[in-house]
């Protein structure tokens, strides 16, 4: 079946989507207007030559807000998945490789965090804003809070992979050659385990972007005036009959990013191991 | 296929029942029902324990207070038919109305009043609106069934404010060991125009007209307090007729006016004594110790344009925290207009100059860079105002960052004086602004470090002067001082955009809300003609 | 075998304990004391009043003692009283449980019943147009924020067409009415279709008996029918593990659904409690949702152990 499911097409499509959106966002300062510039004389204007996608309730240029919002939304997605990797990979690897007490401890930790619904955890953390999270820029704070639960699937997957791989012959061979545990883990096991973990990381990015939108709706996401796609969408909800343009394009951008990251995940999975599952 | 088949049958059935159930629509015949909006479950139905805005709305329907405000915030008699102040003895003597009965038929007596006041002053009751206001009350007596004498250690003209507390029946509430988990909260009874029917948490509180109300039976049969946490859902409920009356955000109100259903509604707005303020921190603060800087910040705000273009016209500019629509306002104190040039001039005069050309002013090597602290809010308007202020101040050379904080965090920071400028809203029921500005009120609401003997004297006079004309004169003097010094900026006084079913009559909002005065649902009625 | 199950249950109990410890610890990090929350922001509580209340609620004791006493009461079946209205937490959870449970159960049921045929159709011809489009379509659904879907559905079915109730659970008894649940359940369902249907597809493709199944065509069934039928059977066991993780995810989604549709459920209770710093309620809700998630995971583990000979041996 492997030949039939190996479709790099979805990987390419996903990468293309994310890269295009990323480029629009990253290059925003080069071409877009000031996303914070308020113009009370031009509030809620529909798309025109001056404002390609119209203006919001404060007369701010929506094109610019979407472009700059992408920096925040994509940033949160990517940072969350990086943080998740940074916590999940070492913990999962250690648990899988060492087994015994280490494994028992990490497994309890994984199970504990997995049992608290992640959105509830994020809500509690952001609503009560503990002192340790104060002073951190919003993007980083939201990403950290999301990664607090986001590392779970990564660690779980990593643990499974390392458990499976550690009995492989090459590990025995390396050990016989006098390699240390750390060396075996980093040099021999990590490369083969890491790639499938990227699948999980890619899905994590997609879900982080969506969760940020949910948090914006609850008033707990990245704070205004900083635009985010989720924030723009949740604002537009209040003006559904006054400005259709306020919702459509941020919505499409959000679609694009979520779809893009998911396609990347699917693509990597199909390319690497058509038999892998979302587990 | 069996399993899948079974599942799809179940699915079809589920959908079918769903559609069948929905074909029955609520009819308007039969009992005359009014459904009004509240935004949250009341903290408790105990009326005096852990009260909040919504439990007050409920309490005012269920039972009466001794006195209550009318739509002009003038105190009117309710359970008390008359009262008498004695400045010399520091007492208020209330004469209770005769022949008032609780919903269960028992008579209302002075003992109920004494019981209620004593109960709400117990710390475990956690009564916030009234108990602290009664802290100068030293003795409470009821010489006979219809007389209550309250003796104070210090008496002030606004003392009646606290007597708006709802009165509870001692023979029911007094039996409960725990006010919060007893027979009374389970099924509260009062002596008000409406009786309690049932309460479904998160959904509704249903009440019915009290046939034996001393002030006459209300014209409507049922009053349902409908709980909607989400404004947008409440708006949709208004559109489907599931709600009859609510206050909504200005943009939704505007949207409703343009909707197909607009003809079915009455659109109006009322002025509230609720103000969006900016509090300038003067405690060891390098920026706002100088009144010129504070005034420069106000002059940089084009408030009229914001009201017109963003707030849908639903706000007014204030000169001081004294509400412009109230009788307390000094007519000669004009709000600052929009004058960016004067603003820049004042800053330069105060020593803030952009010497390195980066667009931000400096003074003695310190950049004019400060934070605007605002409470997190689900109201879009609040964050729009913050965005606009930030932009406006940037234009006069101030680098402002906005810090949106969850309410509890903000309160901690406020208490620690850990802020530059604080934005929040305040609501007033009387002209006593002692706690906001007096130099001794630092443990109350004077977070700004306002400290001046002149305003201290004026605030004291306003608080304790009984003669109305002299009191008004002191108020006006206080406003002139406040306007000149600008310790707190009254940016906007908000109007409340109100929308209700056109057939509903007798709606008379007060500055505290459309159901917060002596005239509330008890004066509402349905008109039969749709016009 | 029995020993395995017993020890698994024991670690489950340990996990539950850790969950409460985690939540308790997080709340201690939050600034501001619960007493301050009781004041309405007008700073009217005097220092003495505040101290009296703190003693009343036991917040003046060391954190470890507070936790121990909460745990002690829990063992006696007492979840404590809410700070917001001083009602027993168990009662508050009890009256909201049915809404959240029925919402989540219906959504879970729908996700599984819809995902299997979609996944099977995709597995039928991997890489085909059907496969690609089912992936794209379900991912598109996945990307629609719930608060928007809810708004559009409300406007169409409740306001414009008037077919379905707009909000609320509809029941006076606390048991929600079916009509009231249709829109909320849809909102909670559509987002889960993507991952679960892809999961079914992957499992079908992985199955060693895949070709054998397809050859059953000889018996006159369509390939799709065979796949759906075997999809349910084949995916059942791995899907159980997924269900264990779907439960917390759904519970989280129901927070927003409950807010928008004004359904008095546990998610709504939790948000309010988080803002109010209502520690007993937060702990109670986390305990219940944690127990539900854990039950899902344990059930999956045990069934998996029973069903899969490899695990049974190991």
A217–chain C Cβ distance below 8 A for any pair: yes
Pure H helices in B163-302 = 170-173, 183-186, 231-240, 250-257, 291-299
Q: Which domain holds residue B135?
A: 62-173
Backbone angles phi, psi at B85, to 5 degrees: -90, 140
Low-confidence ranges of chain B (pLDDT < 70): 1-30, 529-531
H-run or E-run covering B426: strand B421-427
Would you put residue B137 in left (φ > 0), alpha (ψ -120 to 50) or beta? beta
Q: How far apart are CA B359 and CA C278, in angstroms?
A: 46
Span(s) in chain C for CATH 1.10.3720.10: 96-312
Is A40's CB within 8 Å of B302's CB?
Answer: yes
- Would you say residue B7 lies in a domain? no
Chain B interface disruption, residue of C89, C99, C166, most B CBs within 10 A? C166
C238 neighbourhood in chain A, CB within 8 Å: 277, 279
Residue of C nearest to A4 (CA): C126
Per-residue pLDDT tens digits for C250-264: 777 788 899 888 888
B260 touches chain A (CB under 8 A): no
Residue A1: band (very low, low, confident or very high) from pLDDT cuts 50, 70, 90: very low
Q: What is the mean pLDDT of residues A254-269?
A: 88
Whether B398 and B486 share a structural domain: yes
Q: Is residue B468 part of a domain?
A: yes
Q: With a cut of 50, which residues of chain C have pLDDT below it?
A: 311-314
Q: Which of C155, C202, C253 sits opposite A277 (nearest CB)?
A: C202
- Single out the residue in B133, B154, B173 at which a domain terminates: B173
Best residue in A108, A115, A118 to probe C by mutation, most C CBs within 10 Å? A115
Taking a contact as any Cβ pair under 8 Å apart, which residues of chain C between 216 and 235 contact chain B? 221, 225, 228-229, 232
d(CA A253, CA B516): 45
The residues that bridge with B179 in the sheet, in sequence order, are none
Task: Please tell me which of the candidates B231, B255, B383 has its beta carbon nearest to residue A224.
Answer: B383
User: Do B477 and B519 reside in the same domain of the chain?
Assistant: no
Size of chain B in residues: 531
User: Could you say which DSSP state residue B441 is in?
Assistant: G
Both tokens of C210, joined, read 């895949």
Are B499 and B267 within 8 A, CB to CB?
yes
Strand partners, B494: B315
Q: Which helix (H) or strand (E) holds C280?
A: helix C279-307
Pair B398, B305 in one domain: yes
Q: Is A30 on the interface with C (CB under 8 A)?
A: no
CATH topology of domain A11-27+55-273: MetI-like fold (1.10.3720)
CA distance B145 to chain C (A): 32
Nearest residue in chain C measured CA to CA from B441:
C43
Chain-centroid distance, C-alpha A180: 34
pLDDT-wise least confident of A140-154, A263-277, B451-465? A263-277
* Residues within 8 A of B (CB atoms), C 121-150 only: none
- Does the beta-carbon distance from A266 to C30 stay under 8 Å? no
B184 within 8 A of B176, measured Cβ to Cβ: yes
Q: Is the CA virtual torsion B131, B134, B139, B140 positive or negative? A: negative
| Same-domain status, B299 and B206 | no
The pLDDT of residue B20: 39
CATH of the domain at B196: 3.40.190.10
B94: three-class secondary structure by DSSP:
strand
Residues 239 to 258 of C: which have CB under 8 A from any B CB?
Answer: none
* Distance between CA atoms of residues A90 and A271, nearest Å: 25
> Could you identify the residue written with the tokens 């949740």?
A234
Give the mutation candidate from B300, B305, B309 for the A interface (greatest A CB count, under 10 A).
B309
Does B9 reside within a domain? no
Q: What is the CATH number of the domain that holds B147?
A: 3.90.76.10
- Continuous segment of H or E residues that includes residue A210: helix A190-217
Smallest CA–CA separation between A212 and chain C, in Å?
Answer: 10
Please give, rounded to a whole number of angstroms, the shortest distance from the CA of B308 to a CA of chain A: 9
What per-residue confidence (pLDDT) applies to C172? 63
Partners of residue A57 in chain B, C-beta under 8 Å: 251, 310, 380, 384
Same domain, B32 and B69: no
d(CA C53, CA B352): 48
Q: Which residues contact B195 (CB under 8 A, 6 or more apart)?
A: B62, B103, B189, B207, B208, B209, B210
ipTM: 0.83
Please judge whether A223 and B404 are an interchain contact, meaning their C-beta atoms are less than 8 angstroms apart.
Answer: yes
Taking the C-alpha atoms of residue A114 and residue A118, their distance in angstroms, rounded to an integer, is: 7
* Alpha-carbon span B217 to A35, nearest angstrom: 58
Q: What is the CATH number of the domain that holds B299?
A: 3.10.105.10
Q: Which residue has the tokens 């002053």?
A: B121
In 3-state terms, what secondary structure has residue B497?
Answer: strand
Q: Of A38, A43, A223, which has the smallest distance from its Cβ to B391's Cβ?
A: A38
The vertex-B2 CA angle with A278 and B8, nearest 5°, equals: 70
B376 touches chain A (CB under 8 A): yes
**Chain C contacts of B44, Cβ < 8 Å?**
85-86
Number of residue pairs across A and B with CB atoms under 8 Å?
Answer: 68
* In chain C, residues 96-115 whose CB comes closer than 8 Å to chain B: 96, 106, 110, 113
Sort out which chain C residues have CB atoms less than 8 A from B50's CB and list them: 38, 84-86
CB contact under 8 A, B409 and A129: yes
Q: Nearest by CB to C294, which of A115, A121, A263?
A: A115
Contact: A130, C29; criterion CB under 8 Å: yes
- What is the pLDDT at residue C308? 58
Same domain, B371 and B430: yes
Q: What is the DSSP string of B289-304?
A: SSHHHHHHHHHT--HH
Q: What does residue B494 show for φ and ψ, rounded to 5 degrees?
A: -85, 145
DSSP structure class, residue B35: E
pLDDT at B231: 87
Where does chain C show beta strands of DSSP type E?
none
In angstroms, what separates the C-alpha of B278 from chain A's closest C-alpha? 18
Q: In this predicted model, what pLDDT tens digit does every residue of B107-135 receive, in sequence order?
A: 999 999 999 999 999 888 888 888 888 98
Rounded-to-integer distance, Cα A211 and Cα B394, Å: 32
Alpha helices in B23-109 (DSSP H): 53-62
Contact C115, C193 (CB under 8 A): yes
Q: Phi and psi dihedrals of B376, rounded to 5?
A: -60, 135
Largest separation between any pair of C-alpha atoms in chain B: 92
Distance, in Å, from the CA atom of C150 to the CA atom of C159, rounded to the nearest integer, reads 12
For residue A252, give the 3-state DSSP assignment: helix
Transcribe B129-177 into DSSP letters. Answer: SSGGGGTTEEEEEEEETTEEEEEESS--GGGGGGGGSPP--HHHHTT-S
C190–A contact, CB cutoff 8 A? no
Instruction: State the pairing for strand pair B366-367/B399-405.
Output: unpaired
Which chain B residues contact residue C168 at CB under 8 A? 203
- Cβ neighbors of B492 (< 8 A, separation 6 or more) are B275, B276, B303, B307, B311, B315, B316, B317, B318, B385
Run of H or E including C197: helix C193-206
Report the share of chain A in percent with pLDDT over 90.
27
State how far residue A150 is from chain B, nearest Cα, in angstroms: 24
The two tokens of residue B149 are 């004498």
User: Which C residues 54-113 touch A at CB under 8 Å?
Assistant: none
* List of residues 6+ apart from C261 with CB closer than 8 A: B233, C150, C154, C167, C168, C180, C183, C184, C187
Residue C252 contacts A, CB cutoff 8 Å: yes
DSSP state of B97: P
Q: Where are the domains of chain A?
A: 11-27+55-273
Nearest-Cα distance to chain A for B52, in Å, is: 21
Is residue C298 less than 8 Å (CB to CB) from chain A?
A: no
Please answer whether residues A265 and A203 qualify as being in contact, where contact means their C-beta atoms are separated by less than 8 angstroms. yes
Contact C139 A262 (CB under 8 A): yes
Let me know whether B394 and B477 are in one domain: yes
Exposure string of A239-266, with b = 16+ CB inside 10 Å and e = fewer, is bbebbebbbebbbebbbbbbbbbbbbbb
Q: Which chains touch A (3 or more CB pairs under 8 A)?
A: B, C
Separation between Cα atoms, residue A181 and residue A162, nearest integer Å? 12
The answer, yes or no, to whether residue A162 has pLDDT greater than 50, is yes
Nearest neighbour of B230 by CB, restricted to C42, C159, C259:
C259
CA distances from B501 to B220, B312, B438, C24 (A): 14, 21, 45, 47
Rounded Cα distance, A83 and A87, in Å:
6
Q: Which long-range contacts (CB under 8 A, 24 or more apart) does B202-207 make?
A: B202/B41, B202/B227, B202/C96, B202/C262, B202/C263, B202/C264, B202/C268, B203/B227, B203/C168, B203/C169, B203/C262, B203/C264, B205/B42, B205/B45, B205/B58, B207/B61, B207/B62
Specify the pLDDT at position C312: 43
State the Cα–Cα distance between residues A101 and A103, nearest whole angstrom: 5
Q: How far apart are the first and last CA of chain B?
A: 60
The CA-based angle C84-C88-C91, given to 5 degrees, is 110
Q: Measuring CA to CA, which residue among B416, B418, B458 is closest to residue B437?
A: B458
Q: Does C304 touch chain A (CB under 8 A)?
A: no
The candidate with the shortest Cα–Cα distance to A221, out of A202, A208, A238, A239, is: A208
Max Cα-Cα span within chain C: 85
- Is A250 in contact with A229 (CB distance < 8 Å)? yes
Chain C, window 260-279: residues with a beta carbon less than 8 angstroms from a chain B beta carbon: 260-264, 268, 275, 277
> In angstroms, rounded to a whole number, what is the distance separating the alpha carbons of residues C213 and C226?
7
Architecture of domain C96-312: Orthogonal Bundle (1.10)
Do B435 and B406 lie in one domain? The reply is yes
> What is the pLDDT at residue B46?
92
Contact C255, C116 (CB under 8 A): no
Any chains having at least 3 CB pairs less than 8 A from chain B are A, C
Contact state of A237 with C151 under an 8 Å Cβ cutoff = yes
Q: Judge: B310–A41 Cβ closer than 8 Å, yes or no.
A: no
Best of B11, B47, B58, B202 to substitute, by most chain C Cβ atoms within 10 angstroms, is B202
CB B310 to CB A241 under 8 A? no
pTM of the model: 0.86
Instruction: Read off the pLDDT of residues A171-222 as tens digits, 9 standing for 90 and up.
Output: 777 777 777 778 887 777 887 787 778 888 998 999 899 999 888 888 888 8
């Amino acid at each position: 079946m492997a030949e039939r499911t190996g479709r790099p097409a979805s990987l390419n499509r996903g990468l293309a989507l994310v890269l295009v959106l990323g480029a629009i966002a990253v290059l925003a300062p080069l071409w877009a207007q000031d996303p914070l510039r308020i113009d009370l004389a031009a509030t809620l204007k529909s798309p025109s030559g001056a404002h390609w996608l119209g203006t919001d309730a404060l007369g701010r240029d929506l094109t610019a807000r979407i472009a700059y919002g992408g920096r925040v939304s994509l940033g949160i997605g990517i940072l969350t998945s990086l943080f998740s990797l940074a916590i999940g990979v070492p913990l999962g690897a250690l648990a899988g490789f060492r087994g015994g007490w280490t494994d028992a401890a990490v497994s309890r930790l994984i199970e504990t965090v997995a049992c608290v619904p992640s959105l509830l955890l994020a809500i509690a953390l952001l609503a009560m804003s503990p002192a340790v999270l104060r002073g951190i820029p919003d993007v980083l704070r939201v990403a950290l809070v999301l990664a607090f639960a986001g590392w779970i699937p990564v660690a779980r997957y990593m643990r499974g992979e390392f458990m499976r791989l550690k009995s492989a012959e090459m590990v025995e061979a390396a050990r016989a050659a006098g390699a240390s545990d750390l060396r075996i883990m980093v040099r021999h096991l990590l490369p083969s385990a890491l790639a499938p973990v990227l699948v999980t990381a890619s899905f994590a990015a997609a879900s982080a972007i969506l969760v940020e939108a949910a948090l914006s709706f609850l008033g707990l996401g990245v704070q205004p005036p900083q635009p985010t796609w989720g924030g723009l969408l949740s604002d537009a909800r209040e003006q559904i009959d006054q400005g259709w343009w306020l919702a459509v394009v941020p919505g499409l951008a959000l679609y694009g990013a979520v779809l893009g990251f998911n396609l990347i995940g699917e693509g990597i999975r199909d390319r690497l191991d058509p038999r892998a599952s979302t587990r | 296929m069996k399993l899948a088949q079974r599942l799809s049958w179940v699915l079809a059935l589920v959908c079918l029942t769903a559609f069948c159930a929905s074909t029955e629509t609520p009819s308007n015949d039969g009992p005359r029902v009014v459904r009004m909006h509240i935004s949250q479950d009341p903290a408790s139905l105990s009326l005096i324990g852990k009260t909040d805005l919504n439990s007050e709305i409920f309490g005012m329907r269920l039972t009466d207070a001794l006195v209550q405000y009318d739509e002009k915030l003038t105190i009117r008699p309710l359970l008390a038919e008359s009262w008498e102040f004695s400045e010399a003895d520091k007492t208020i003597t209330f004469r209770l109305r005769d022949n008032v009965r609780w919903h269960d038929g028992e008579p209302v007596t002075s003992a109920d009043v004494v019981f209620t006041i004593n109960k709400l002053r117990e710390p475990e009751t956690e009564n916030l609106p009234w108990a602290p206001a009664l802290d100068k009350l030293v003795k409470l007596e009821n010489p006979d069934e219809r007389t209550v004498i309250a003796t104070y250690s210090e008496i002030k003209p606004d003392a009646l404010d606290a007597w708006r507390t709802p009165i509870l029946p001692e023979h029911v509430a007094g039996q409960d060991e725990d006010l919060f988990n007893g027979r009374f909260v389970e099924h509260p009874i009062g002596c008000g125009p409406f009786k309690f029917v049932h309460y479904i948490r998160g959904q509704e509180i249903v009440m019915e007209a009290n046939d034996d109300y001393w002030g006459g039976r209300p014209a409507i049969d049922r009053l349902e307090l409908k709980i909607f946490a989400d404004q947008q859902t409440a708006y949709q409920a208004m559109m489907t007729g599931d709600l009859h009356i609510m206050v909504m955000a200005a943009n939704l109100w505007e949207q409703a006016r343009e909707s197909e259903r607009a003809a079915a509604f009455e659109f109006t707005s009322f002025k509230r004594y609720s103000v969006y303020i900016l509090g300038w921190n003067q405690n060891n603060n390098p920026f706002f110790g100088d009144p010129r800087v504070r005034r420069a910040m106000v002059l940089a705000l084009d408030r009229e344009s914001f009201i017109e273009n963003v707030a849908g016209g639903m706000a007014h500019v204030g000169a001081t925290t004294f509400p412009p629509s109230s009788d307390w306002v000094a007519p000669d104190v004009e709000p600052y207009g929009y004058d960016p040039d004067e603003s820049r001039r004042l800053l330069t005069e105060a020593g803030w100059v952009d010497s390195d050309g980066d667009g931000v002013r400096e003074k003695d090597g310190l950049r004019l860079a400060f934070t605007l602290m605002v409470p997190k809010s689900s109201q879009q308007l609040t964050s729009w105002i913050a965005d606009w202020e930030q932009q406006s101040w940037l234009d006069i050379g101030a680098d402002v960052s906005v810090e949106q904080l969850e309410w509890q965090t903000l309160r901690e920071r406020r208490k620690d004086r850990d802020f530059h400028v604080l934005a929040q809203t305040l609501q007033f029921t009387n002209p006593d602004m002692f706690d906001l500005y007096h130099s001794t009120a630092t443990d109350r609401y004077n977070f700004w470090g306002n400290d001046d003997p002149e305003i201290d004297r004026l605030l004291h006079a306003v608080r304790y002067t009984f003669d109305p004309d002299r009191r008004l004169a002191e108020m006006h003097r206080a406003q002139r001082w406040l306007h000149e010094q600008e310790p707190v900026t009254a940016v906007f006084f908000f109007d409340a955009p109100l929308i209700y079913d056109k057939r509903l009559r007798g709606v008379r909002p007060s500055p505290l809300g459309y159901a917060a005065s002596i005239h509330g649902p008890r004066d509402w009625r349905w008109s039969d003609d749709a016009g | 075998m029995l020993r395995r199950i017993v020890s698994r249950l024991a670690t489950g109990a340990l996990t539950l304990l850790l969950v409460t410890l985690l939540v308790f610890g997080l709340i201690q990090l939050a600034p501001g004391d619960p007493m301050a929350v009781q004041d309405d922001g007008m700073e009217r509580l005097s220092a003495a009043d505040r101290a009296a209340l703190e003693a009343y609620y036991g917040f003046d004791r060391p954190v470890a003692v507070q936790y121990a006493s909460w745990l002690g009461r829990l063992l006696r079946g007492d979840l404590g009283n809410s700070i917001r209205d001083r009602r027993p937490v168990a009662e508050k959870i009890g009256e909201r449980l049915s809404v959240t449970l029925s919402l989540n159960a219906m959504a879970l049921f729908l996700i599984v019943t819809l995902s299997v045929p979609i996944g099977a159709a995709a597995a039928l011809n991997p890489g085909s147009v059907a496969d690609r489009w089912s992936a794209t379509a379900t991912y598109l659904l996945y990307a629609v924020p719930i608060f928007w879907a809810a708004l559009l559905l409300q406007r169409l079915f409740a306001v414009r067409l008037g077919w379905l109730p707009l909000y609320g659970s509809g029941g006076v008894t606390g048991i929600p009415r079916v009509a009231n649940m249709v829109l909320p359940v849809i909102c909670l369902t559509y987002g889960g279709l993507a991952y679960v249907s892809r999961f079914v597809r992957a499992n079908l493709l992985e199955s060693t008996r895949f070709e054998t199944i397809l050859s059953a065509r000889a018996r006159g069934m369509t390939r799709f029918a065979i796949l759906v039928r075997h999809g349910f059977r084949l995916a059942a066991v791995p899907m159980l593990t997924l269900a264990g993780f779907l439960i917390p995810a759904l519970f989280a989604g129901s927070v927003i659904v409950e807010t928008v549709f004004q359904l008095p459920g546990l998610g709504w209770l939790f948000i309010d409690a988080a803002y109010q710093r209502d520690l007993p309620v937060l702990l109670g809700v986390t305990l219940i949702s944690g127990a539900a998630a854990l039950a899902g995971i344990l059930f999956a583990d045990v069934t998996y152990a029973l069903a899969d000979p490899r695990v049974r041996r190991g």
